[in-house]
A and B are shown apart, each in its own frame.
Chain A
Amino acid sequence: GEDVEQSLFLSVREGDSSVINCTYTDSSSTYLYWYKQEPGAGLQLLTYIFSNMDMKQDQRLTVLLNKKDKHLSLRIADTQTGDSAIYFCAEKVTDKLIFGTGTRLQVFP
């Protein structure tokens, strides 16, 4: 089946690291993505990882993939107030993206 799950809410202090988790069910996923959505806006592609990789780092972002457990995480280092948004993970299955329900990240001073 196709299902992507995320925790709904995460609150962190400015300057700390944030870790957003995601689990998916379809083992045929080839790529997995992280998107950011700010209020009233479309989705911004942050990063992606190929399914045969276990880690990818891109500036403040680190993606970890545990393919055995079908678990994906996004770590944001030195979280800033501008990082406050909803974060979606998505898996690519054939020609479509399957999105999670999103995790709302709130950053407080």
Chain B
Amino acid sequence: DAGVTQSPTHLIKTRGQQVTLRCSPISGHKSVSWYQQVLGQGPQFIFQYYEKEERGRGNFPDRFSARQFPNYSSELNVNALLLGDSALYLCASSLFNSRDEQYFGPGTRLTVT
């Protein structure tokens, strides 16, 4: 069975640009969450979506936005990139039940220069 997939694997952007990251959940999972992991730190929660609705938002600026499609895949958009946005962006999918075990993809490494 395919796990969570993310694209692209790596990305280099310059300050001020915009970026779109993509995620496909495990088959049967209807919830997708996005996390940012800065080098040397634990992942920080950005968004959770379930059935195309935003269910949770972390402490990130409005430059960060996301959406979920009818097939439960998701996109994370970041506008007006800053150097501090350089990080590994992780997507996780889950069944959105009480246990809510989240399974992570390999991540997209974003470098902002």
Contacts and interface: CB of A to CB of B under 8 A. Distances in A.
B90 A43 contact: yes
Interface of chain B: mostly helix, strand, loop or mixed = loop
Contacts of B99: 31, 48, 50
Contacts of A45: 101-104
A61 B43 CA distance: 23
Contacts, number: 58
Interface of chain A: mostly helix, strand, loop or mixed = strand
Interface residues of B, number: 25
Interface string A3-42: 0100000000000000000000000001101010000011
A94 B56 contact: yes
| Interface size range on A against B | 20 to 34
Interface of A: 4, 30-31, 33, 35, 41-45, 48, 50, 88, 90, 92, 94-102
Interface of B: 4, 33, 35, 40-45, 48, 55-56, 58, 90, 92, 98-107
